Structure 1
Amino acid sequence: MAEIINLRQHRKQKGREEKEKQAEQNRIKFGRTKDQKKRDAFEKKKALSELELKRLEKKPEE
């Protein structure tokens, strides 16, 4: 004889598994490590400072 299952629980479990699968794909696609974030922030800050040094006219200080 077939196993009796609760369809509501089965549907919810399947939904949770799908969400977890999608979350795992998103972590791989969009996730960055703390070191990567720090490196990007450092590179951005360095690029802005280099750009500021190359200005012909300085911004007036307030």
Structure 2
Amino acid sequence: MAKPVNLNRYRKDKARAEKKARADQNAVSFGRNKAEKDASKKHLEKSRRDLDGHEIDK
């Protein structure tokens, strides 16, 4: 005799797998690698430093 299958668990596992596949695809499409993130962070910090350097002292 076959072992009974929990259909709720099967349904949730399937939904979880589909969500993970979609997340992986989005990471490939929209994600940035570490070098790009670091470059962006450095650019933002430099912009803030430059802006602070141009403040008018009263």
TM-score (norm 1): 0.58
Residue equivalent to 2:37: 37
- RMSD (Å), alpha carbons: 2.5
Could you tell me which runs of 5 or more consecutive residues in structure 1 were left unpaired when the two chains were aligned: 1-5
**Structure showing the higher helix proportion among its residues:** 2
**1:27-49: per-residue Cα shift (whole Å, max 9, x none)?**
12442111011101100010011
Distance 2:11 2:52 in 1: 58
Distance 1:12 1:56 in 2: 60
TM-score (norm 2): 0.61
**Percent same amino acid at aligned positions?**
33
Residue equivalent to 1:46: 46
Residue equivalent to 2:21: 21
Could you tell me which runs of 5 or more consecutive residues in structure 2 were left unpaired when the two chains were aligned: none
The structure that has the greater radius of gyration is: 1
